[in-house]
């Protein structure tokens, strides 16, 4: 028991340091660092490069660690603050999360472009080779465990001392509540925020270095650390440093001690421990959702900035689109669409046509972002998991004897619908758990859920078929079985347009108007009598179902249900691409779905393999571009076309005016 | 005040309502009664707690103590949604409008909201499902547009009906808030400074409209307003708040003459 507790203490200490970094940066900047994993990954690779004598510089490990934690980490934090993070403070929650996810994606891609994309599993931390250094009640304690626990204690006590006993701490705590008060003390609040990003990045790097021997050097390896530290941050309501620290510490200890009491295999044995971060978060969210102050605060903080860049951008776009002239441009668009759709299977070979057919399938998944984020304003990082769950459910039904038919006899089309329904039911459960509080809580809980599905569901052999995936077929409709890329192209296109038509109908219905109201003002929606929570859960479930159906279409084209194609790290790339294109724009989401397939294919055709991650870097960068273009690329392009059409029709466009209002929007008690 | 109105059953009653924000006692045991067919005004200097009181009545703020009754129903712990379903609508001092919707779409939405919240959760769910079925889902019909246009014209927003909120002046946005309230067809309406940003003629027109609404449709109106001329010209009863406390109440004539009211607005001299 004691040995597990000590091991747990070491793991928990890592989680706690990482959670501390999240809370410090959130407190100062009101930006939740979804890119912390990417930062830690980049810094860990820097350390590996400096310390490795075979492929790197071969420097002393302690020296390398000191350079990374004390110099490169803080400089990275300062650089990112100067370039990007310092500009996020007053932006809408979706923009902040989109940009941070974009940064995460870009950092991982940059790291692999610089250092190579082969995962390294055997890596030493700053301590080097672990040795037993002493025993406590007959339990051996390694130098690695000792150093981690001592470092976490120093970071915690040092943090406590700085925040509570020094002028710098006083100013930092003051700047959280009032920038104006910070100015009155003669301190530049920007300096305070920049400093916290430097310190936070350094601590994140420290935790990343120390977790290296446990997870190795792979982007996914850091996910556990980040999920656990996010659980700590949720427990600390993002702002309470010590609750976050000890919450994450307890989580780590629980994870290790549970090994004693769990069977070595079976669902409980394999799924419970990876599920703990998610379970801790859910419990915290359920408890906090009963507390009025948290509810009001989360909404006040996250919904307050309304007259922000997003609203300004949206108003400019709507102003152009509402102009009475130039509406003929849509017919030009429809004509181009028809020509391209018909032309592709004629002009391109089976490979490229097939690629576009899968692009339609991914577009269906991407259209789920229109429902979840574009309509309901929910920041969901688990759409990929719903797609994966749809795939698993559909493949299971096809390959096993079930109520719907014997193995290999259930029609694929029916299985695809079942996949969508199962994903929808899962979405209902997740929605009920995470939509009680503000958008940031939803983003984090869905992130943890995606990780949970990766570790506890996809790894099960009955779903993954020992890593090779379950066989899946093509649907059969009226005797057509879509067995060639060209025929599947038409199947994919028709399903995509049906989903688009449904979403178009939804937006112009009362429900669509209701969601527009909920996005703009929850307090207005509440006083008009709309049940915000239930409406959001409903559309979240529907989004999950659409993602599930899209996933089954991908599996159908590939003839194999391969759940590892739907993991969280890929999901972050999807999210970055979707928000960059514009989650309200069906054209943008279609462009996102197509780009996801076409960009890597085109790059691999013309660029060396070493640059394989370049498209991912570009996806991350376009998401970061939301800082200046919050409504997304596609709506802006659309507005430019309409502007041209208005001019060609002899019309003029005037800019909307934005009046400063003294009152703060206060969506309280809803 | 007519005897008939005096004897009317109270539709809205807030009793001993108190709310505290941290160290600030924003409302301290305030009691207010608003009757059908009447305009009940709530006045007081800045920071008196008027908008907070509307928040407690409408359910957007939860009072620490006190009860809110709509007819014989105790809604003290009910959500804003539940109160809306009991025929309550309100405007906001800081307009809560939807950037993506035009003036017309706002009014259509409010009309549908008024009809549907009364139909209950089941019908709302049915609507949600129907909305997913193309051709069955309801786009905005010509008839709805015509009805919305009539209300928009009545409020003087006719030439701006296809504009979004960001293209309207602050005064126009407040008028649109009033239009939303009226479009729901609610029986209890709470107006939070509807005349702010309007010129004299627009304010008078708005006053007449609210008065007509209260008397012709037997609506219960609670009006929070800084424009005392408007308040005294259209209200039946006036409640005066200062520093979260009810300092006086009565008819407009009584409140015009009230020493307490004059002191609250103008302050006291040392002699006094």
CB pairs under 8 A between A and B: 158
Structure-token pair, residue B68:
């809110």
Structure-token pair, residue B117:
């919240």
Mean pLDDT computed over A600-610: 84
Whether chain A has a CB inside 8 Å of the CB on B260: the answer is no
The pLDDT score that the predictor gives to residue A666 is: 34
A469, A563 contact by CB (below 8 A):
yes
Sequence-distant (6+) residues with CB within 8 A of A629 are A313, A636
% residues pLDDT > 70 (chain A): 94
Please say if the pLDDT value at position A571 is more than 90. Answer: yes
CA-based nearest residue in chain B for residue A525: B81
- Mean pLDDT (chain A, rounded): 86
Q: What is the pLDDT of residues A308-317, one digit of tens each?
A: 677 788 888 9
Whether chain A has a CB inside 8 Å of the CB on B4: the answer is no
Residue located via tokens 């446990």? A214
CA-based nearest residue in chain B for residue A507: B131
Q: Which of A339, A379, A318 is nearest to A571 (CA)?
A: A379
The strand ranges marked E within chain B are: 12-21, 24-34, 39-43, 65-70, 73-74, 88-90, 188-192, 220-224, 237-242, 245-250
Most confident of A64-78, A154-168, A619-633: A64-78
Mean pLDDT computed over A89-105: 89
Most confident of A48-57, A64-73, A169-178: A64-73
- 3-class SS at A298? helix
Compare CB distances from A517 to B84, B98, B116 and report the shortest one's residue. Answer: B98
The widest CA-to-CA distance across chain B, in whole angstroms, is 75
Q: What is the pLDDT of residues A137-161, one digit of tens each?
A: 777 788 888 899 999 999 989 888 8
A384, A607 contact by CB (below 8 A):
no
How far is the alpha carbon of B270 from chain A, nearest alpha carbon, in Å? 34
- Partners of B34 in the β-ladder: B12
Most confident of A359-368, A465-474, B127-136: A359-368
User: B237-242 and B220-224 as β-strands: parallel, antiparallel, unpaired?
Assistant: unpaired
The pLDDT score that the predictor gives to residue B256 is: 86
pLDDT band at A122 (very low <50, low <70, confident <90, very high): confident
Q: Which residues of B touch A523 (CB under 8 A)?
A: 60, 80, 92, 96
Across the interface, do B117 and A528 touch by the CB < 8 Å criterion?
yes
Question: CA separation (Å) from A64 to A46, A59, A73, A117, A154?
Answer: 8, 6, 12, 21, 20
Please say if the pLDDT value at position A306 is more than 50. Answer: no
Question: CA separation (Å) from A492 to A274, A499, A590?
Answer: 35, 11, 12
Across the interface, do A658 and B170 touch by the CB < 8 Å criterion?
no
State ipTM.
0.84
The pLDDT score that the predictor gives to residue A165 is: 78
Q: Which residues of A109-135 are buried (b: 16+ CB within 10 A; e: fewer)?
A: bbbbbebebeebeebbbbbeeeeeeee
- This prediction has a pTM of 0.86
The pLDDT score that the predictor gives to residue A480 is: 87
How far is the alpha carbon of B1 from chain A, nearest alpha carbon, in Å? 31
Please say if the pLDDT value at position A577 is more than 50. Answer: yes
The pLDDT score that the predictor gives to residue A636 is: 92
Sequence-distant (6+) residues with CB within 8 A of A293 are none
How far is the alpha carbon of A669 from chain B, nearest alpha carbon, in Å? 5
Across the interface, do A523 and B60 touch by the CB < 8 Å criterion?
yes
Picking from B57, B97, B131, B174 by the largest number of A CB atoms within 10 A of its own CB, the best residue to mutate is B131
Mean pLDDT computed over A73-94: 90
Compare CB distances from A318 to B100, B121, B125 and report the shortest one's residue. Answer: B100
pLDDT band at A656 (very low <50, low <70, confident <90, very high): low
How far is the alpha carbon of A551 from chain B, nearest alpha carbon, in Å? 20
Sequence-distant (6+) residues with CB within 8 A of B121 are A531, A534
Q: What is the pLDDT of residues A505-541, one digit of tens each?
A: 888 787 888 888 888 888 888 888 887 888 889 889 9
Across the interface, do B100 and A509 touch by the CB < 8 Å criterion?
no
For chain B, the domains span 1-87+186-272, 97-170
Q: What is the pLDDT of residues A8-63, one digit of tens each?
A: 899 999 999 999 999 989 988 889 999 999 999 999 999 999 988 887 888 999 99
Q: Which residues of B touch A510 (CB under 8 A)?
A: 109, 112, 116, 127, 131, 138
Sequence-distant (6+) residues with CB within 8 A of A341 are A493
The pLDDT score that the predictor gives to residue A665 is: 37
Instruction: Look at phi and psi of residue A659 and say left if phi exceeds 0, alpha if psi is from -120 to 50, else beta.
Output: beta
Whether chain A has a CB inside 8 Å of the CB on B217: the answer is no
Rounding to the nearest 10 degrees, give the CA dihedral for residues A82, A88, A89, A93.
-160
Q: pLDDT below 50 — which residues of chain B?
A: 1-9, 270, 272
The pLDDT score that the predictor gives to residue A269 is: 74
Across the interface, do A520 and B58 touch by the CB < 8 Å criterion?
no
Residue located via tokens 């503000």? A438
Q: Which residues of B touch A668 (CB under 8 A)?
A: 55, 60-61
Picking from A92, A300, A509, A516 by the largest number of B CB atoms within 10 A of its own CB, the best residue to mutate is A509
Q: Which residues of B touch A657 (CB under 8 A)?
A: 166-167
Across the interface, do A657 and B162 touch by the CB < 8 Å criterion?
no
- Residue of higher predicted confidence among A260 and A332: A332
Return d(Cα A420, Cα A424) in angstroms, integer. Answer: 6
Sequence-distant (6+) residues with CB within 8 A of A323 are A642, A646, A651, A653
B1-87+186-272 folds as Rossmann fold (3.40.50)
Across the interface, do B97 and A524 touch by the CB < 8 Å criterion?
yes
% residues pLDDT > 90 (chain A): 47
Sequence-distant (6+) residues with CB within 8 A of B86 are B70, B73, B75, B78, B188
A31, A88 contact by CB (below 8 A):
yes
The pLDDT score that the predictor gives to residue A530 is: 82
- 3-class SS at A277? helix
Return d(Cα A276, Cα A278) in angstroms, integer. Answer: 5
């Amino acid at each position: 028991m004691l040995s597990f507790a000590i091991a747990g203490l070491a793991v928990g200490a890592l989680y706690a340091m990482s959670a501390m970094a999240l809370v410090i940066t959130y407190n100062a900047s009101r930006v939740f660092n979804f890119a912390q994993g990417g930062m830690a990954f980049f810094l860990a690779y820097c350390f590996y490069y400096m310390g490795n004598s075979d492929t790197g510089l071969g420097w002393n490990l302690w020296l390398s660690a000191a350079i990374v934690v004390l110099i490169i980490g803080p400089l990275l934090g300062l650089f990112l603050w100067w370039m990007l993070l310092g500009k996020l403070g007053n932006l809408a929650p979706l923009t902040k999360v989109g940009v941070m996810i974009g940064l995460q994606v870009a950092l991982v891609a940059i790291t692999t472009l610089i250092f190579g994309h082969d995962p390294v599993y055997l890596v030493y931390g700053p301590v080097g080779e672990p040795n037993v250094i002493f025993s406590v009640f007959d339990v051996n304690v390694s130098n690695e465990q000792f150093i981690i626990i001592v470092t976490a204690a120093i970071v915690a006590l040092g943090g406590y001392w700085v925040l509570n006993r020094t002028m710098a701490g006083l100013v930092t705590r003051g700047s959280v509540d009032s920038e104006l008060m910070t100015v009155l003390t003669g301190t530049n609040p920007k300096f305070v925020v920049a400093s916290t990003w430097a310190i936070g990045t350094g601590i994140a790097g420290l935790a990343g270095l120390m977790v290296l021997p446990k997870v190795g050097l792979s982007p996914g390896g850091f996910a556990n650390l980040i999920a656990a530290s996010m659980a700590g941050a949720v427990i600390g309501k993002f702002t309470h440093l010590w609750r976050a620290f000890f919450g994450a510490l307890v989580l780590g200890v629980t994870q290790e001690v549970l090994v004693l009491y769990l069977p070595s295999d079976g669902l409980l044995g394999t799924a419970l421990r990876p599920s703990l971060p998610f379970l801790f978060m859910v419990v915290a969210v359920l408890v906090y959702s009963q507390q009025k102050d948290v509810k009001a605060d989360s909404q006040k903080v996250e919904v307050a900035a309304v007259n922000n860049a997003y609203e300004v951008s949206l108003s400019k776009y709507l102003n152009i689109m509402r102009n009475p002239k130039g509406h003929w441009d849509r017919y030009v668009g429809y004509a181009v669409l028809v020509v391209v759709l018909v032309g592709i299977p004629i002009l391109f070979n089976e490979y490229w046509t097939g690629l576009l057919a899968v692009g339609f399938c991914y577009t269906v998944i991407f259209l789920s972002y229109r429902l979840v984020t574009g309509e309901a304003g929910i920041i969901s990082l688990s759409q990929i998991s719903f797609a994966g769950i749809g795939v698993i459910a559909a493949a299971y039904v096809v390959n096993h004897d079930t109520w719907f038919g014997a193995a290999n006899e259930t029609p694929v089309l029916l299985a695809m619908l079942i996949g969508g329904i199962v994903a929808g039911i899962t979405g209902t459960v997740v929605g009920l758990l995470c939509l009680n509080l503000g958008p940031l809580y939803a983003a984090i809980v869905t992130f943890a859920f995606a990780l949970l599905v990766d570790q506890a569901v996809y790894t099960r052999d009955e779903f993954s078929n020992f890593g090779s995936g379950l066989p899946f077929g093509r649907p059969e409709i009226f005797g057509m079985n879509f067995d060639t890329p060209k025929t599947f192209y038409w199947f994919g296109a028709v399903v995509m347009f049906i989903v688009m038509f449904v979403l178009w109908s939804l937006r112009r219905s009362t429900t669509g108007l209701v969601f527009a109201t909920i996005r703009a003002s929850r307090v207005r929606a509440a006083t008009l009598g709309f049940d915000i929570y239930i409406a959001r859960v409903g559309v979240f479930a529907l989004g999950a179902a659409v993602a599930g159906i899209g996933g089954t279409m991908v599996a159908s084209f590939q003839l194999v249900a391969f759940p590892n194609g739907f993991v969280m790290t890929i999901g972050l790339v999807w999210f970055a691409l979707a928000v960059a294109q514009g989650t309200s724009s069906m054209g943008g989401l279609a462009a996102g779905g197509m780009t996801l397939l076409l960009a890597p294919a085109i790059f691999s055709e013309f660029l060396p393999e070493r640059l394989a991650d370049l498209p991912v870097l570009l996806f991350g960068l376009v998401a970061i571009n939301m800082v200046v273009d919050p409504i997304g690329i596609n709506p802006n392009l659309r507005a430019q076309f309409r502007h041209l059409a208005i001019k060609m029709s002899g019309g003029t466009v005037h800019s909307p005016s934005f009046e400063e209002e003294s009152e703060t929007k206060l969506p309280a008690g809803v | 005040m007519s005897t008939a109105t005096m004897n009317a059953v109270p539709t809205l009653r807030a009793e001993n309502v108190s709310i505290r924000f941290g160290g600030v006692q924003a409302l301290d045991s305030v009691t207010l009664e608003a009757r059908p067919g009447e305009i009940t005004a709530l006045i007081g200097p800045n920071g008196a707690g008027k908008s907070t009181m509307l928040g407690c009545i409408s359910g957007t703020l939860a009072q620490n103590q006190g009860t809110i009754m709509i007819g014989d129903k105790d809604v003290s712990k009910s959500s804003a949604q539940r109160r809306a379903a009991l025929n309550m609508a309100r405007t906001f001092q800081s307009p809560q409008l939807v950037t993506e919707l035009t003036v017309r779409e706002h009014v259509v939405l409010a009309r549908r909201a008024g009809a549907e919240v009364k139909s209950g959760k089941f019908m709302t769910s049915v609507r949600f499902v129907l909305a997913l079925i193309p051709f069955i889902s309801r786009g905005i019909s010509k008839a709805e547009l015509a009805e919305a246009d009539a209300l928009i014209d009545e409020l003087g927003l006719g030439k701006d009906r296809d504009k979004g909120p960001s293209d309207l002046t602050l005064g126009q946005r407040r008028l649109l808030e009033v239009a939303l309230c009226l479009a729901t067809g609610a029986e209890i309406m709470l107006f939070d400074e509807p005349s702010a940003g309007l010129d004299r003629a627009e304010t008078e027109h708005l006053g007449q409209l609210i008065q007509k609404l209260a008397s012709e449709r037997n609506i219960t109106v609670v009006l929070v307003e800084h424009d005392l001329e408007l308040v005294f010209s259209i209200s039946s009863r006036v409640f005066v708040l200062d520093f979260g406390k009810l300092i006086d109440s009565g008819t407009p004539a009584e409140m015009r003459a009230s020493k307490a009211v004059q002191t609250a607005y103008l302050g006291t001299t040392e002699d006094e």
